[in-house]
Structures are given as C-alpha cells and as structure tokens.
Amino acid sequence: MKNDDQLQKNANEYDVIIVGGGLSGLSLSCLLGGIDGLRVACIDRDAPEAQLKSDERTTAISYGSSKILARAGVWDAIAAQGCPIEDIEILDGNSPVLLQFLSGEVDGKAFGWIVSNRYIREVLMARMAELPHVDHIAPTTVKDFTVDEHCAKVILDDGKVLSAKLIVGADGRQSSVREFMDVDIRSWSYQQQAVVCFVSHEHAHRNRAVEHFWPEGPFAILPMPDHKGGGCCSSLVFTEHGNKRDGLMSLSDDMFLDEVTKRFPKSYGAIEIIDNKRMAFPLSLVHAAEYIAPRMVLVADAAHGIHPIAGQGLNLGFRDLGVLHYLIEDAVLRGGDIGAPELLLSYQRKRRPDNMAMIAATDALVRLFSNDLPPVKLLRRVGLKAVAKLPMAKQFFMKRAMGE
C-alpha cells in the first residue's frame, strides 16, 4: 500500500503541463487529454467563472481549425452556437466590391464560423471536466520553473511543485514560459487599436463577412447568430491609428454610431450598437526567435502574435496545436519521450515556415492598406481585381482564408 508521501508525489506528476488557460491552452488540454496514458495539467491565473464573465469578444474559427477542434471532441458543440461565413466581400475605401470569395467556389464549404469566446470557453471547460486525466488548476500563478535532462518543474505561488516531461507555454504575448526560456523576440506596435462592438441591423447578413479597407485601418463586419432579442446581428472590428484617448472610444454613443453608420453597407439597413458597448485592444506584432528549449515549447500567441487584419491569429495558433498533438500522440504510441529534443525540433521545423509566411503577409497587408497615396491605392485595387479574374490565384487565397 502506498504511503501519503507517495500518493502526493504521484498526484503532482504529469506528462504535460500547459501554462495558460486561454482558448489555446484549453484546446490543447482537450486534444492531449484524449491520448491514452497521458496525464495533463492546465494552469491558469484566472478562476474559470471569471474567464467566462470577462471575455465578450468573438472569434473567427477557420474551416481548418474546425478540424483540429473536432479532434479535441468539441467542434460539434461549438458549431451549434456559431454563425458560418459563407461569403467574403473585400472593398477598398469608396470602391465597389473588388473581390468576392464564395462558398460555392470551394465545394459549398464555409470559410469559417464566428463564435462567442465565452461559449467556446464553456464548451472547452466542459470537455476538460469529462477527461479523467486532465486537471484544470486555477486560479493560481506560476512563480518559477526548473528544468533538467529528464523533467521540467513548475513552482506555483503556494509553493506546490508540479513536474512533467514537457511544459507548454500557451500563456500569451507576455509569456512567462518564454521569458524563462530566455529567447529573443521581434516585436513592434502598429500604432493602431481595434475597437470591437456588436451591431444589430435591419436586414439579414446572409452569412456574409465584409472586409472594408479604409486609410485609417480595416473595418470588418462579421456575421453572428441572431441577437437574443430576435434581430439580425454582426460583430464589428473598427481599426483606427493610434491608441487614442480622443479617438473612437472617447465619442458619445450617438457620435460613435454615426461613425459606424457612415461605413456600414446600405444593404444592412438601419443599425444599432447592442447595449452601447465597445472594447478597444492595441495592435502589435511579436514573434519568438525560438519556439523550443529543453523540455519546453511555445504555442500560439506565446510564440507569435500577429495583426488581426486577416482574422488568422488564433487559427495560426490552432495549427501549432494540431502539429504538437500529432507529434506527441505519435511519440506515445511508439513509447518515446514526448519532451525529447528531436520531437521539439520537428515541431519548430514544421511550424516556423507557416508562421513566418503569415506574419509577413499580414504585416504587408497592414502597410499596403493603411497607405492612401494615389499610386499605392491604384496598385492595390488593380491587384485585387487581378486576383478576382485569375482562378488559380483566387483559389490560393480562398484556401488560405479557410486555413487549409
């Protein structure tokens, strides 16, 4: 019979410890928790109930990401409360629609789904509670880490020490795991902020997303399920230059509605800001020079945080999770070491090219579409029209939008 010390030791031993309980950390916990023989801990600084109350944003989940969430056993429940994006319209300033992506051109598949972050968290937490070998440890904070050849340890603020074969940093742009790994980062501010709100409108959105590029920044309208009051509803991301105290966030409700109405397509009819609520988030880029260190690995925003101009930030992170899940599952089936240097190097080699390509693409789009010089404006409009007329180019961009 085991003594109390042995039971306590075993209770604090895991195969994988995930630091960070946001959407990426929760999703990875569900993915890895489905692997037989694997014991997983997800550490979060916030209490679950606080997370469910605080995050009022929505997320665009791409078609490719839906496949990864299906592997985690959560997609059907998430999709039931999401709104599919079946068509995408792209405009530039006062131009007509320059480029359309239609679901009929990709075998009737949705490009993605708009889902409430709060609901995604509810589904992920419910799934974690069903998995017998996953522990959600919250609220608590990580005080320190130690790493040796055979295992890594997390020291919590209450003094408890947890050990694992691998520690995953899923703790966002200010990652404590990345800081301990002591890797260099590239980062800069775009001197922009995204103002987010929810809008009710008179006419149906027809599952259409609109990306309208204005000199001050992108103006994105994303379809949502009907409002609980019965009206049509969309999520709005309104980007402006500068983290301005005297910008959109400082306007009265009526003045803000006027600014939104000026840019909203007339086909939506009369609009209202739901509950007169708006939120603002500064926009920046961060990219870690290395994703790995002995017994440690970075995923999602801890490894790379990008501009939301193409709606691919979280979806890029989901692709990290998909690759890491595959490599760990393969190692478990082979009886290998899930924290081995070869496995971590394979993860980095598989993910860096895709991440760097998306970073370069979004950064170029921000600079291209934030420029209102006549030659640049002409060049981008010609470019968008050319993509619309070239089937192979259009298919390429539609597949990228779907995350395939």
Secondary element (H or E) of residue 49: helix 48-54
Q: Which of 90-99, 169-178, 291-300, 333-342 has the lowest mean pLDDT?
A: 90-99
- Look at 279 and 228; give whichever has higher pLDDT: 279
State the average pLDDT over residues 155-180: 97
**Tokens 């630091």 correspond to what residue?**
19
State the average pLDDT over residues 264-293: 94
- Which amino acid appears at position 387 of this protein? V
Q: What percent of the chain shows pLDDT beyond 90? A: 71
Q: Is the pLDDT of residue 101 over 80?
A: yes
pLDDT at 15: 97
Q: Domains plus CATH for the chain?
A: 4-83+113-186+284-370 (3.50.50.60)
- Which amino acid appears at position 399 of this protein? K
pLDDT at 3: 45
Alpha helices for 282-340 (secondary structure H): 313-334
For the whole model, what pTM was predicted? 0.93
* Angle of CA points 365, 370, 373, to nearest 5°: 115
Q: Is the pLDDT of residue 79 over 50?
A: yes
Residue 95, Ramachandran bin (φ over 0: left; ψ between -120 and 50: alpha; else beta) = beta
- Look at 70 and 395; give whichever has higher pLDDT: 70
**pLDDT (tens digit, 9 = 90+) per residue, 50-72?**
877 777 789 999 999 999 999 99
What band does 155 get if pLDDT is binned at 50, 70 and 90? very high
pLDDT at 243: 63
Peptide bond into 84 cis (omega under 30): no
**pLDDT (tens digit, 9 = 90+) per residue, 320-364?**
999 999 999 999 999 999 999 999 999 999 999 999 999 998 898
Q: Could you tell me which of 339, 12, 15, 10 has the C-alpha nearest to residue 161?
A: 12
- Look at 161 and 368; give whichever has higher pLDDT: 161
Residue 97 — φ and ψ, nearest 5°?
Answer: -65, 120
**pLDDT (tens digit, 9 = 90+) per residue, 279-307?**
999 999 999 999 999 999 999 999 999 99
What band does 13 get if pLDDT is binned at 50, 70 and 90? very high
Torsion of CA 26, 347, 353, 34, to 10 degrees: -30
What band does 24 get if pLDDT is binned at 50, 70 and 90? very high
pLDDT at 8: 46
DSSP 210: E
Q: Is the pLDDT of residue 6 over 60?
A: no
